[in-house]
Amino acid sequence: MGQIATSNRQITLFYNSKSVRARKTLAYARVKGLAILRVDILKNKFTGTQIVELAHKLHCRVEDLVNQEHPAYKLRFKQHNFSTNDWIKMIQNNPVIMKQPIALRGNRTILVETPTDILKI
């Protein structure tokens, strides 16, 4: 059993409150009447285990959770072969570089690319 609790009754949405895509996704979910548990990644720090669990649920590596095109990433980091622990620490200390929003419902998890993707979960 993982550290991230999920429910079939509501969608847990990990999002950056400063992200336009996240705000549009939340607005779309509200219009559609979806029950959403909001988790702002800028206010709620992830544990390393939670980051690894999200990557596992998305069927990707931890480094794939990092938006390497984000200006904050480009400003602070250079392309390099980091260890999984390095990627985890980067996300923990710079949550703005994490790809998001990530939606979970029951045993399903998706990376929301467009606001309407929230309906896929």
> Within 13 Å, how many C-alpha atoms sit on residue 57's CB side?
22
DSSP state of 117: G
* pLDDT for res 40: 97
Q: Domain 11-120 belongs to what architecture?
A: 3-Layer(aba) Sandwich (3.40)
pLDDT at 11 over 70: yes
Q: Is the pTM of this model over 0.85?
A: yes
Of 98, 96, 112, 92, the closest CA to residue 66 belongs to 98
CA distance 45 to 17: 14
Provide the residue ranges of all domains of the chain, joining segments of one domain with +: 11-120
* pLDDT for res 38: 96
CA distance 45 to 90: 12
